[in-house]
Amino acid sequence: MAQFTHIDPHARPTMVDVGDKAITKRTATAETRVRFPAQVAEALRTQGFSTAKGPVFHTAIIAGVMAAKRTHELIPFCHPLGIENCKIAIDMDGDEALIRCTVSVTHKTGVEMEALTGSSVAALTLYDMCKALSHDIVIAQTRLVEKRGGKGDIGG
């Protein structure tokens, strides 16, 4: 039977002890999809992906990296990590933006939550930057697509 890692034998929340884990190179990639109404996507393209608030994708990338670096301050049981790299790419596919956040670290614990946080905050920033054009923007899907290092790899 699967056990939750953040619950102790007395059913209380607890931080995972990573003291005995091996230090390895760990990477994770998460993606979030943002669906824009057609007129918002068209406005973004014709305005060079900029609004009155500034460059939309550049601002979202900066916000996502900042969030990934501070994940431990947002998610209660995440360990503070000295992230070695965080890359965020945003690509338009029709009326949808695909945000991919890849985070890496050499540490005793992985960076899945950092990648998920980075892509999520980048998506929220896209919403904020474009909400003057429409509130019908949908943050559609956030998921972990790849993890390397640690106990086991997934995706890729």
Catalytic residue ranges:
128
Instruction: Kindly state the DSSP code that residue 37 receives in the 8-state scheme.
Output: P
117/111 Cα distance (integer angstroms): 10
The residue among 59, 55, 33 whose CA lies nearest residue 44 is 55
103 has which bridge partners?
28, 86
- The Cα 120–Cα 84 span in angstroms is 20
Nearest-angstrom CA–CA distance, 109 and 86: 16
